Chains A and B, each alone.
Chain A
């Protein structure tokens, strides 16, 4: 059984919850009082993760930290189709890794802006928002060109990959950090497609996709 050390409003924890549900992996949540209690910085939690970060998973004694590491591990272990992390297709795997790195940027800009605006973190808010817009512009153009090739997802595959999964939370919650998305129509269509995937799960603050008309 996988135990996820989790905080509901954390984008990085949400990434792991999404994959656990997409792959129907049996798991339990161990809520961490991240805010306002800062339990991730407590003495007991530092024995779980000396860096004092969440998410962390404990898979029957195998402890792993960092959202990307956890996702790669879980996808490789449980995804029988090897579509989320396509280890058998080198070029597609390269693309997936490239966009997962890109998502580090959206987490450090769009989601940092959200932490500033919601939880009062002291970040340079103007730099966070400007950085998020720069990356969203690139993503929007990329997704538009993908659509021209009849591709629905960030990477050139039929099915979504971890690249879509790690980008989605930063993008969908960006308004909470004052990063408006009205100028990114291809991103909008992509978020709708992602939210209509089977076994997609919401988090507080993420709304369901509109009904197809």
Chain B
């Protein structure tokens, strides 16, 4: 299985999540892909975590003998292992809530999805799909209106503030429908987070994020991150809720065509509710990214159609 190698300096130099720490510690080594390169993340309990890049194709996890190994930088943050294929910066964004001791902070699964990292991020940033894709959970028809919200960009992060949505079951801790206030934060080109009113304490926020690993141009792994105020529900119940939401998104996401995210202003027709996506696509354009995106309006992907309905 060969995949196009990424030539974008902006992506090669980023820190990327490649595995959840418990997956490496308890069930490792983890074989995965980053920007088309084969990686193995290893390090059992008591050992340092190490990441090796194999400069040869692997077939079913077996590396060809002539493969050359390169050690990559390792960083542990928010319960995940991060690495970089280029010259990564000193700094990785922070999530202050992660350090608060009364929260339930954990990974709720690394789910692979057959689409680009960009499409995966945009799905996470979208409010408008809630009543259609997550009906009965994150939205309910006919409450489909996306109220106006503000988007700001400071060259490092995108913030969307003042978002509101009616939700029948905003989280597993919810006992009733509520108008949920959302703030979206893109802390990294592939790490969207959202802050939403906690059903337990309306003055504080639950933080949910996905750290998206671009495996190839059209395959991504969404590492789910949760930092919740919830003292009543057990791990399995909280994770079940997240698995349902992700399971509902998956067929919709995998059937978006083209799989690579189109950046051309006329490639797709955004509406007001897509303000965050518009800013996101502009950001990717400014970063000079061409991997996993379609920069030019005239480029077309030829993807086979599939049948899910």
Residues of A within 8 A of B (CB): 7-9, 31-33, 35-39, 117-120, 122, 124, 175-176, 178, 180-182, 188, 203-205, 207, 210
Contacts and interface: CB of A to CB of B under 8 A. Distances in A.
Interface of B: 20, 22-23, 26-27, 30-32, 60-61, 107-114, 221, 235-237, 239-240, 243-248, 250-251, 254, 304-309
A120 B30 CA distance: 9
A36 B22 contact: yes
Nearest to A181: B307
A37 B111 contact: no
Contacts of B23: 36
B250 A37 contact: no
B306 A182 contact: yes
Interface centre among A35, A39, A188 (most CB of B within 10 A): A35
A176 B308 CA distance: 10
B239 A38 contact: no
A36 B254 CA distance: 21
12 contacts: A8-B240, A8-B244, A31-B239, A31-B240, A36-B108, A36-B110, A36-B239, A120-B110, A176-B250, A181-B307, A182-B306, A207-B308
B251 A205 contact: yes
B212 to A, nearest CB: 15
Interface centre among A32, A176, A182 (most CB of B within 10 A): A176
Most buried by B among A181, A188, A205: A205
B60 A205 contact: no
Given A38-B27, A175-B254, A182-B305, A9 B247 contact: yes
A134 to B, nearest CB: 19
Could you tell me the dominant secondary structure of chain A's interface residues?
A: loop
A67 B305 CA distance: 32
B60 A204 contact: no
Contacts of A9: 243, 247
Nearest to A116: B112
Contacts, number: 85
B5 to A, nearest CB: 21
Given A117-B112, A176-B254, A207-B251, 14 more contacts: A8-B243, A31-B236, A31-B240, A36-B110, A38-B27, A122-B60, A176-B251, A180-B306, A188-B307, A204-B243, A204-B246, A204-B250, A205-B248, A210-B309
Contacts of A35: 109, 243
Nearest to B61: A122
A33 B111 CA distance: 14
A205 B250 contact: yes
Contact of A180 (B20, B236, B304): B304
B307 A204 contact: no
Contacts of B245: 204
Contacts of B32: 120
Contact of B236 (A39, A120, A124, A175): A39
B112 A118 contact: yes
A208 B251 CA distance: 12
A7 B109 CA distance: 13
Given A33-B239, A39-B236, A175-B254, A180 B247 contact: no
Question: When A and B form their complex, which 4 residue pairs have the shortest distance between CB atoms, in order from nearest?
Answer: A204-B247, A33-B236, A31-B236, A31-B240
A170 to B, nearest CB: 15
B179 to A, nearest CB: 24
A175 B239 contact: no
Nearest to A180: B306
A7 B247 CA distance: 12
B114 A204 contact: no
Contacts of A7: 240, 243
B247 A205 contact: yes
B140 to A, nearest CB: 16
Contacts of B239: 31, 33, 36-37
B100 to A, nearest CB: 22
B111 A119 contact: yes
A37 B236 contact: yes
Contacts of B246: 204
Nearest to B111: A118
Contacts of A119: 111-112
B254 A204 contact: no
A10 to B, nearest CB: 10
Given A37-B235, A178-B114, A180-B307, A203 B22 contact: no
A80 B178 CA distance: 42
A204 B237 contact: no
Contacts of B247: 8-9, 203-205
Nearest to A39: B236
A202 to B, nearest CB: 9
